[in-house]
Amino acid sequence: MSERAYTHPDGSFRSAIAEAQRAASSGTRREGVDPGQVDALMTEVDERGYVILPELFSREAMLTLKRELLPLLEFEGRNEFEGFKTRRIYSVIQKTLSLNPMVEHPLILALLDRVLMPNYLLSQLQAIDIQPGEARQPLHHDDAFYPIPRPRPPIGAAVIWAVDDFTEENGATLVAPGSHRWGDVPSGEIDPGTLVPAVMPAGSALFFVGTVWHCAGPNRSDAPRMATTAQYCEPWARQQENYSLAVSRERARLCSDTIQSMLGYSMLFPFIGFVDGRDPKRLLRGRDPAERNSSR
């Protein structure tokens, strides 16, 4: 995906900030990540809107993760979108830190660095366990709730991690290749026959930009299909999960600096995200200025 194509063309304030921040971060190299590999993956993302990253975690790691997540899967979905035969975990970081290595996997961060502005945010984090007999989820693209007409740059990006093997039978995510370039299309006009299942072994990741149409496939197998998913958004966009309320400060302190930033303990300088006129990360280091003032 060419960054240039997604640069705001009007020379506005926002554009100037974006340019300055991109320039400041252009020297950033994610530890252990080959920039050539990222270039090649981004070529695929540019062409199709998504890319599969095989086996970033071991099958054993996924089995351990599954054991951790199963007791937290509390309720069935409440509508067609959540899936009436699908169980989800929300507010994940408040409940377990076991998804953190996925959220901040270096290769994922290296891709996000190319798609979003620095200090991008975590928008939501979930586990999704699709039970046998579940129907296909309604088609959607993840940044559809930002009311900005398409075609346009993505406002977010997402990763779906296969905790179980993803197969055509058990509900592998279905993606519409090239749909990130579409204008505003009613979902009913999309031919389901053109959707491609993201078949991948456990521990693999499907990375896609927020403009890609996709959905969970129907689970026609006799076993559940577990995934985790992290969505990220531009630092100027509102997060879907309200992390300042969903994740306590004590819990955020247990996270890495990167995840703290993604939860919202960061700023898009100079004016977005401040607390008491300064970087909110101070709240995790010292005393809360709101507490200080309210104690007077």
Residues 163-192 that bind ligand AKG (CB under 6 A): 173
Looking from the CA of 211 toward its CB, the CA atoms found within 13 Å total 26
**In 3D, which of 206, 272, 260, 199 has the Cα closest to residue 234?**
272
Contact 118, 195 (CB under 8 A): no
Residues 220-249 that bind ligand AKG (CB under 6 A): 227
Please say which residue, 112 or 215, places its beta carbon nearer to ligand AKG.
215
Is 42 a binder of ligand AKG (CB under 6 A)?
A: no
User: Judged by CB under 6 A, which of 62, 216, 226, 263 binds ligand AKG?
Assistant: 216
Is 252 a binder of ligand AKG (CB under 6 A)?
A: no
Residues near 252 by Cβ (< 8 Å), separated by ≥ 6?
A: 93, 259, 260, 263, 265, 284
Is 128 a binder of ligand AKG (CB under 6 A)?
A: yes
Alpha-carbon Rg of the chain, whole angstroms? 19
Residue 254 tokens read as 């247990």
For ligand AKG, which stretch binds (CB under 6 A), given 55-63, 179-187, 210-218, 247-255?
210-218
Exposed / middle / buried, residue 293 (Cβ in 10 Å: 0-12, 13-18, 19+): exposed
- Would you mind telling me the total number of residues written for the chain in this entry? 296
Contact 113, 25 (CB under 8 A): yes
Is 98 a binder of ligand AKG (CB under 6 A)?
A: no
Is 160 a binder of ligand AKG (CB under 6 A)?
A: yes
Is 159 a binder of ligand AKG (CB under 6 A)?
A: no
CA distance 39 to 56: 18
Q: Residues in contact with ligand AKG, total (CB under 6 A)?
A: 8
Is 162 a binder of ligand AKG (CB under 6 A)?
A: no
Please say which residue, 92 or 128, places its beta carbon nearer to ligand AKG.
128
User: Judged by CB under 6 A, which of 214, 224, 252, 262 binds ligand AKG?
Assistant: 214
Contact residues for ligand AKG, defined by CB under 6 A: 128, 137, 160, 173, 214-216, 227
